[in-house]
Structure 1
Amino acid sequence: MSKKTIVFTGGGTAGHVTPNIAIINELDQEKWDIKYIGSKQGIEKELIEKINVPYYGIRSGKLRRYIDFENLVDMFRVVKGTHEARRVLKKLKPDLVFSKGGFVSVPVIIAAKSLRIPIFIHESDMTPGLANKISQHFSTKIFTSFEETKQYFPAAKTTVIGSPIRKGILTGSPEEGRKFLGFHSAKPILTIMGGSLGARRINEAVRESLDNLTKSYQIVHLCGKNNLDSDLEGREGYFQFEYVNEELADILAATNLVITRGGSNAIFEFLALQIPMIIIPLTRKQSRGDQILNAQSFEEKGFALKLEEEDLTAESLAEALDQVNEKRSTYVEKMKASGQGSALDVLVREIDNIQR
C-alpha cells in the first residue's frame, strides 16, 4: 500500500507548533509521509527539525490588525510566500494540509486551496486568530478547542473537540519528578510556567514572594530564556529553569498546583493532568485578549482561578494560592468530569479517513 502525504503548517510561537507535533507523533508512519512548511527562521523550524520531519521554509509577512507601513511590505512577503508554498506543494502532492495557525500558515493555505488540496485547521483559542479568520474561507474542515469558538466559523464544517495535547505529557512519574528536582513528598510542589519566553511580571511577583512561598511549597520556576536569577541558585525549596523538555512530564506529574499564562495548549494540558491552576493571562496591551477569554472560560467551568496581571502583587498571589488550595478537591472533581483528552484521537481518525 502506497503512503499518503500530509503537510503540516503553523508557527510564530511554540503554541502553534506543539499541537502539530502531538499529532505527528500519533500518525502511523507506515501510512503517512509527513512534511512541514514553516517560515525560514521561525521557532517552528527549530522544533520540527528536532523530530526529524522534512522542513520547507517560505517567506511570510506578519499579519497585523492595525495600520502600519510594514503591512504593505508584508503583503508582498505573503504573496511571495504563497508562490513558494505552491511550488513546494506541487512537488510534494499532499493528500492533506493541516494548519494550527500563525501568520506563516496563510500562504500555505491559499496555495493549497489553489491546488485543490483538502485543508484542516484547528483553532486553540476562544476567539480565532487573524490567520484562522482568513484560512476558514479556504478550509475543508475546522476544529476548535472551545465550544464558544464555534460561533465564529461556518457551522457546517466546524467541530468542537478540545485541544490535541501531547500524550507523552500524561505519562510522567511523580517519583521521578521529585528525584530530578531533589524535592520530597512532605510538602506540595508549585510549578510556575510563563510560556516559552517566560513572563517578566510573573517572574518578579514569584521572586518577591519566595520567603513566604517556600514556607508552604517547593517551587519549580520555568522562567524563560535569559531570565534565570543567579542570586537564587541553590536556594532550598526553589529550582529555576529557562526551559524544560524531556523532564517536563515527570515534573508535572509531581506538581500539585500550577501558575500559568492563559495559552490554550498549556491550560488544556493542565486540565488533562487535573492540576488546579491560577491563570494570569496576557493583558490586552500585550495581546488581542485571547488569553483573557481562555482564562474566563476555565474559571467559569471550575478548572482555574483567574488573576489579572494588572492586579498581580505578592499579596494577591498569596491570596489566590490560598483560595485554590481551599477548594482543591472541587477543582479536581470538575476537571475529572470534563472528559478532556480525546481531541488527539479525533484528529488522527479524521486525518486517516481523508479522501483525495
Structure 2
Amino acid sequence: MKVILSGGWTLGPVTPLLAIYEVVKEKYPTAEFVWVGTKNGPEKTLIERQGIKFVSFSAGKWRRYFSFVNIFDLFKILLGFFESLLFLRREKPNLCVSAGGFVSVPLHWAAKFKKIPTWIHQQDVRIGLANKLMAKSAKIITVALEENVKKFPVGKTFFLGNPVRQEILKGDKETARKMFGLSGAKPVLFATGGGTGSENVNMLVADAAEELKYVCEIIHLSGRERDHEKLEEIASKNSHYKTYNFFTEEMKHAYIIADLVISRGGFGTLTELSVLKKPAIIIPIPGHQEENVALLAKSGAVVLVDERVETGAGLAKLVKDILEDKEKMESMKNKLAGLIIIAKKENILDIFEKARA
C-alpha cells in the first residue's frame, strides 16, 4: 500500500498529516509514504527527519484579488498538474491525503483524473481556498470543527477533530534544560512565529526581551527565513534569551519546558497547545487566524494580541502579569483543552479505511 501526503510552504498543512502518518504507519508498518511539498518551504527538513520520501512540485497560489502574478501562477498550476500526472503514473498510490496548501491542488485534480481516491482535511474556521478547490474531487472530507461539516458536500464530509502528532507529547524537561541552556531558576517563555517565522512577532518578542530579564527565560523560535542579526545581538547581551531559527526534534522539548507560549494562531498550533495544556498568548496573522482565535479568546482560553497595535513593552507587561497569576494560567489551560477536540486514533483509521476503499 502506498499513500501520498501533500502540503507545505507553511507548516500549517503539515502537522495534522504527520499525525495521520503516525497512526496509519503504526497500523500498517509496511505501508509506503511519499510527501509532495514545495520547493522552498520549511517542510522538507521536517518530513525527511521522519524518514518519508520528499518530492517537490511547481505550486502556484491563486489570489482572491486582481494581481498580474495570478497569470504566472496559473502556468505554475498547469505545470504542477502535468508533473502530478507523471508522478502518479510512476508511484501508483492507493490514496492521496492533504490538509490544504496550494501544492496539493494540481496533485488532487490529477488524482481525480487518474481515478485515485483523495481525502482532504480542513482545520481552520475559515475554509481555505485550496480545500475549496479540492473538495469537489475529494472522496472523503474531514473537518476539525463540527460547525464546518455543513460547509462541504453532504455524504462525504465527517467531523473528525484535529489530529495531533504523538511525537510532540514526548518532550522531556531535563533534556530541554540542557538543550537550551536554561538555569531552571525562572519560568520559561517559548515564543514562536510559526513554521516560516514572523518578522512582526520577532520584533515584538525582541523588544520585550530585555524588559523580561528578571521575569523569565526565553526560548525564541524566529523562523529560518527571517532576519536574525538583531535577535542574535540581543542574545549575546542577555543570558536569559535564546534564539533559534528552526526546530525539528527540539520542538517537543521547547513545548514541555514552557510555562507560557507566544505563538501565531494556526489551528494546528492551537491544537498542540490544547493537548499539551499550555497557557498561551496568541498573535494571529490578520485574517483567517483571527477567526480561529476569536472564540478561544472570548472564552478566556487564550489571550489575544493584535500585532498592529501591540508594543514590546506592552507584551512584556502582559507576559509578566500572566506568569504572576497562577490561577489564570490554570484556567486558560483547562479552557483551551476543553474547546478543541483532538481526533481519536480509531476515528482516523476509520476515515482512512473509508477513503482508500
TM > 0.5 between the two?
A: yes
Query: For residues 95 and 293 of structure 1, do their structure 2 counterparts lie closer, same or farther at Cα, with a shift above 3 Å needed?
Result: same
Whole-angstrom distance in 1 between the partners of 2:78 and 2:22: 32
Deviation at 1:322, TM superposition (A): 5.0
**Deviation sequence 1:180-210 (CA, Å, 0-9, x none):** 2232444211111111232222222222223
Task: Find the counterpart in structure 1 of residue 250 from structure 2.
Answer: 247
Task: Find the counterpart in structure 2 of residue 171 from structure 1.
Answer: 170
Whole-angstrom distance in 1 between the partners of 2:312 and 2:337: 31
Whole-angstrom distance in 2 between the partners of 1:39 and 1:172: 28
User: How many residues get paired?
Assistant: 348
Query: For residues 140 and 230 of structure 1, do their structure 2 counterparts lie closer, same or farther at Cα, with a shift above 3 Å needed?
Result: same
Query: For residues 102 and 236 of structure 1, do their structure 2 counterparts lie closer, same or farther at Cα, with a shift above 3 Å needed?
Result: same
Task: Find the counterpart in structure 2 of residue 308 from structure 1.
Answer: 306
Task: Find the counterpart in structure 2 of residue 286 from structure 1.
Answer: none
Task: Find the counterpart in structure 2 of residue 149 from structure 1.
Answer: 148
Q: How does 1:188-337 map to 2 (within 5 A)?
A: 188-225=187-224, 226-228=227-229, 229-234=231-236, 235-283=238-286, 289-322=287-320, 324-325=322-323, 326=325, 327-337=328-338
| Contact 1:37 1:85 (8 Å CA) reproduced | no
Percent identity at matched positions? 32
Whole-angstrom distance in 1 between the partners of 2:201 and 2:71: 36
Whole-angstrom distance in 2 between the partners of 1:72 and 1:208: 40
SS of the residue aligned with 1:239? Answer: strand
| Contact 1:102 1:131 (8 Å CA) reproduced | yes
| Contact 2:46 2:248 (8 Å CA) reproduced | no
SS of the residue aligned with 2:83? Answer: helix
Deviation at 1:339, TM superposition (A): 6.9
SS of the residue aligned with 2:214? Answer: helix
| Contact 2:279 2:329 (8 Å CA) reproduced | yes
**Deviation sequence 1:91-135 (CA, Å, 0-9, x none):** 322221101211111111111111222111011211111111111
Query: For residues 160 and 92 of structure 1, do their structure 2 counterparts lie closer, same or farther at Cα, with a shift above 3 Å needed?
Result: same
Gaps of 5+ in 2: none
Whole-angstrom distance in 1 between the partners of 2:251 and 2:340: 23
Whole-angstrom distance in 2 between the partners of 1:60 and 1:333: 40
SS of the residue aligned with 2:213? Answer: helix
| Contact 1:188 1:217 (8 Å CA) reproduced | yes
| Contact 1:122 1:144 (8 Å CA) reproduced | yes
Q: Which amino acid aligns with 1:105?
A: S
**Deviation sequence 1:190-246 (CA, Å, 0-9, x none):** 111111232222222222223331222111111223425232234222211112222
SS of the residue aligned with 1:209? Answer: helix
Query: For residues 305 and 142 of structure 1, do their structure 2 counterparts lie closer, same or farther at Cα, with a shift above 3 Å needed?
Result: same
Q: Which amino acid aligns with 1:231?
A: E
- Which stretch of structure 1 is more off in the superposition, 80-89 or 151-160? 151-160
Query: For residues 323 and 162 of structure 1, do their structure 2 counterparts lie closer, same or farther at Cα, with a shift above 3 Å needed?
Result: farther
SS of the residue aligned with 1:55? Answer: strand
Whole-angstrom distance in 2 between the partners of 1:317 and 1:236: 20
| Contact 1:22 1:344 (8 Å CA) reproduced | no
Deviation at 1:59, TM superposition (A): 2.5
Task: Find the counterpart in structure 1 of residue 22 from structure 2.
Answer: 25
Whole-angstrom distance in 2 between the partners of 1:236 and 1:59: 43
| Contact 1:95 1:354 (8 Å CA) reproduced | no
Task: Find the counterpart in structure 1 of residue 347 from structure 2.
Answer: 346
| Contact 1:127 1:152 (8 Å CA) reproduced | no
TM-score (normalizing by structure 1): 0.89
Task: Find the counterpart in structure 1 of residue 129 from structure 2.
Answer: 130
Computed over aligned residues only, the root mean square deviation of the Cα atoms, in angstroms, reads 2.3
Task: Find the counterpart in structure 1 of residue 9 from structure 2.
Answer: 12
SS of the residue aligned with 2:167? Answer: helix
| Contact 1:106 1:131 (8 Å CA) reproduced | yes
Deviation at 1:45, TM superposition (A): 4.1
**Deviation sequence 1:24-54 (CA, Å, 0-9, x none):** 2332353422122334554444443443323
Whole-angstrom distance in 2 between the partners of 1:60 and 1:348: 29
Query: For residues 343 and 64 of structure 1, do their structure 2 counterparts lie closer, same or farther at Cα, with a shift above 3 Å needed?
Result: farther
Deviation at 1:141, TM superposition (A): 1.4
Q: Which amino acid aligns with 1:299?
A: A
SS of the residue aligned with 2:308? Answer: helix
SS of the residue aligned with 1:302? Answer: coil
**Deviation sequence 1:58-91 (CA, Å, 0-9, x none):** 3332221111223223223222321221222233
TM-score (normalizing by structure 2): 0.88
Query: For residues 31 and 299 of structure 1, do their structure 2 counterparts lie closer, same or farther at Cα, with a shift above 3 Å needed?
Result: same
Deviation at 1:292, TM superposition (A): 0.7
Query: For residues 148 and 300 of structure 1, do their structure 2 counterparts lie closer, same or farther at Cα, with a shift above 3 Å needed?
Result: farther
